[in-house]
Structure 1
Amino acid sequence: MPNLFEYVRAKDPSSAGSVQAADFTVAPTGGSHTSINAAINTAYNTGGDCKIILVKKGTYAEDVYLSGKRILLLGEQGHTPPVVSSDSGDYSLTIVEDGCVVDGLVLTHSAVATSSGGVNVSVGTHQGHARLVNTVIRGNRSLSGAGILVSEGLATVDHCTVAGNTGCLPPPPPRAGAFTSAPGHCACATRSCGILRSRLPTRRSTRAWVHRVRS
């Protein structure tokens, strides 16, 4: 649990017993919402910042868009984490709001089009920060950052797996793993992550493609 989300609730983040209840729960049945985006919209229209949305296990066919306020998307713990399986030509997850955290999801595509990447982070030049934790990003395809694209701001990626994503044929040069589009304006910091089996259409490799393009 990010410290900020605990401070907002007047809790002590240094206490192991400090467990925060979710504001909204997404589940195929029995939750407050059946759609992640519907829960995000409700959080946006509810007073207060730093909302927590618990996502129960299941498969959610949607493109998740985090904007409006700081939100923690928290996947239910277990052997079968919740899956966001987009069937569109957009990113499975787009983050445009500073301070958002995504923890414990699988981000993929059920129908892979030319531009159907995993994560797009665009949270403001030099200022915004988004965080991905314990998340699997797989089975996506895009020219730029089929796994993760950071176009503005900073993305911190902790204990995540980026695997089996495919860069499209050039031009421009394909980027299959993680890609920052504007050095000096954005960055992607990884810690204890595996970026593997990200590939170009004409070759296979266990090497990660992590690209930075000069402006």
Structure 2
Amino acid sequence: MQGIEFEHKLRMLDIRGCDMVLGVDWMRKHNPILCDFIGYRLQVSVEGKRVELKGFSEEGSLQSMSAAGVKQLLKKGQLLWAHLFTVTAQSTADGRGIPEQIRRLLTEFPGVFAEPKSLPPQRSHDHFIPLKSDAAPISIRPYRYNHFQKNEIEKQVTDMLNSGTIQPSHSPFSSPVLLVKKRMVVGDDLMDELNGSCIYSKIDLRAGYHRIRMKESDIYKTAFRT
């Protein structure tokens, strides 16, 4: 670090936000440690010598730059830290900025654009899970997750509980939860094909999910734990 060599046993963890976390074992090894929280300086002992590490203050300037500019800095080894931000449009709760014609349609057909608040009705073609007569319940312990996966799982479970998609269960069946990364969609070619068009349509992807219920007698077989 900063031209100073340290020897220490580290563990590989799938975490975000920092390259390395130094714990109590590292501080004990290089004790005594002197911290200057105002000047962002840290003095430690390395092989009997006192060395100083300097931190970065929170003050600094931010500027936007193009991808070509980032490449140039990378070639020169001058890039210190970069963040990629995506800007998305958000509608206001009071409907300001919505054209009057669209507002009338939203008022006339509120159910079309509303978030689903309940499950679809039971039908004759509901899903079912037939089992062999001698089949025993399958119960698998939950997997271990890192902190950002755990937060996302808790968020998804809370949303599904609030919407009624899932419910608490004491089933003898239990399956673990998996998070699968979605591939980043690159739609440049598709966007180019829209050039010159004046009328657009889209598929309501939300309507493609949660349309068929599970048979009431088989719901307990779909239980999961996090």
Q: For the superposition of Structure 1 and Structure 2, which TM-score range results when normalised by the shorter chain?
A: under 0.3
* Structure with the bigger percentage of strand: 1
* Structure with the bigger percentage of helix: 2
Q: TM-score, normalised by structure 1?
A: 0.19
Q: TM-score, normalised by structure 2?
A: 0.19
Q: Point out which structure has higher relative CO (alpha carbons under 8 A, 6+ apart).
A: 2
